C-alpha cells in the first residue's frame, strides 16, 4: 500500500520495503493551459522542467560530477542514474525518473537531494505557478510497487525551482523526507550553489 506524504514527513525506506536496494524516484507535472496573447503573438513555449539529483557529503557538494541531470545522466559511481529528459511534461505517469542503487552509493555520501527547475525560465518568463499536478513518488524497482507519493498542491507562483525531497542515511538506514520547498534559483548551477 502506498503512503501519501505530507510536507516535512519522513519515511524509513527499509521499513517500508525490507531488502530494498534500488529506488526509482518518479517526478511528474502538467502544464497549465497558457492563454493566447493575441493573433500575431508567438505561441507560448512549453515548460521544460528538469529533474536532477545532487549527492552531498556532510551536507555539501564537493565535485560537479555529483550533479546528475540531463547533461550528466550517470553519477561516476554508477549509483544514481537519470533516465532521460522530458522537454514538455507531456504524457501520463512519471515525466522523468531518477534511479538510485542504495547499495552502491559510496559511504561518504550521506544525502541525495532531488530537485527540479524550469529550463531557461528567465528568458521564457515561466515559473511553477504555470504547472499543476506536480508530484514525486518512490517506487521499489524490484516489483515496481509505489511506496509513497507526495503531491505538490501548494501555490508556487513566482518560484522557478523546487526541492522535491531528500534521500538520506540515518543510523545506518536510508530514509526519505518530502520537502516541496520552492526557490527562485534560475538554473541548476545557481541551485547547487546553496550546497557549496
Tell me: pLDDT of 43 over 80. no
Tell me how crowded residue 69 is: count the other CB atoms within 10 A of its CB. Answer: 20
The domain locations on the chain are 3-29+45-195
Please name which of 103, 84, 78 lies closest in space to residue 23, comparing C-alpha atoms.
103
* Greater pLDDT, 36 or 32: 32
The answer to whether 178 and 136 have CB atoms below 8 angstroms apart is yes
Alpha helices for the chain (secondary structure H): 13-16, 121-124, 188-192
Summarize pLDDT for 108-165 with one digit per residue, the tens.
999 999 998 888 899 988 888 888 887 888 899 999 999 888 876 677 888 899 898 8
DSSP-derived letter for residue 192 is: H
- pTM metric for this prediction: 0.85
Listed in sequence order, the residues at least 6 apart from 193 whose beta carbon sits closer than 8 Å to its beta carbon are none
The answer to whether 128 and 162 have CB atoms below 8 angstroms apart is yes
Tell me: pLDDT of 49 over 80. yes
pLDDT at position 38: 60
* Greater pLDDT, 73 or 38: 73
Tell me: pLDDT of 92 over 80. no
- Of 3.40.50.300, 2.60.60.30, 3.30.360.10, 3.40.1410.10, which CATH number belongs to 3-29+45-195? 2.60.60.30
What percent of the chain has a predicted confidence (pLDDT) above 70? 88
Listed in sequence order, the residues at least 6 apart from 35 whose beta carbon sits closer than 8 Å to its beta carbon are none
How far from 36 is each of 67, 125, 159, 193, CA to CA, in Å? Answer: 36, 15, 22, 36
Backbone angles phi, psi at 190, to 5 degrees: -70, -35
Tell me: pLDDT of 44 over 70. no
Amino acid at each position: 500500500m502506498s503512503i501519501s506524504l505530507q510536507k516535512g514527513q519522513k519515511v524509513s525506506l527499509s521499513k517500508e520495503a525490507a531488502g530494498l536496494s534500488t529506488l526509482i524516484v518518479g517526478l511528474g507535472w502538467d502544464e497549465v493551459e497558457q492563454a493566447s496573447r493575441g493573433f500575431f503573438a508567438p505561441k507560448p513555449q512549453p515548460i521544460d522542467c528538469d529533474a536532477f539529483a545532487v549527492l552531498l557529503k556532510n551536507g555539501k557538494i564537493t565535485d560537479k560530477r555529483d550533479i546528475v541531470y540531463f547533461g550528466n545522466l550517470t553519477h561516476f559511481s554508477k549509483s544514481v542514474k537519470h533516465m532521460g529528459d522530458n522537454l514538455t511534461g507531456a504524457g501520463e505517469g512519471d515525466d522523468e525518473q531518477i534511479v538510485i542503487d542504495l547499495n552502491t552509493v559510496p559511504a561518504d555520501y550521506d544525502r541525495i537531494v532531488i530537485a527540479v527547475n524550469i529550463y531557461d525560465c528567465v528568458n521564457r518568463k515561466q515559473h511553477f505557478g504555470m504547472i499543476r499536478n506536480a508530484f514525486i513518488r518512490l517506487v521499489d524497482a524490484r516489483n515496481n510497487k509505489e511506496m509513497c507519493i507526495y503531491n505538490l498542491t501548494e501555490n508556487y507562483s513566482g518560484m522557478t525551482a523546487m526541492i522535491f525531497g531528500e534521500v538520506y542515511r540515518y543510523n545506518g538506514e536510508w530514509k526519505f523526507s518530502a520537502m516541496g520547498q520552492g526557490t527562485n534559483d534560475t538554473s541548476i548551477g545557481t541551485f547547487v550553489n546553496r550546497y557549496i
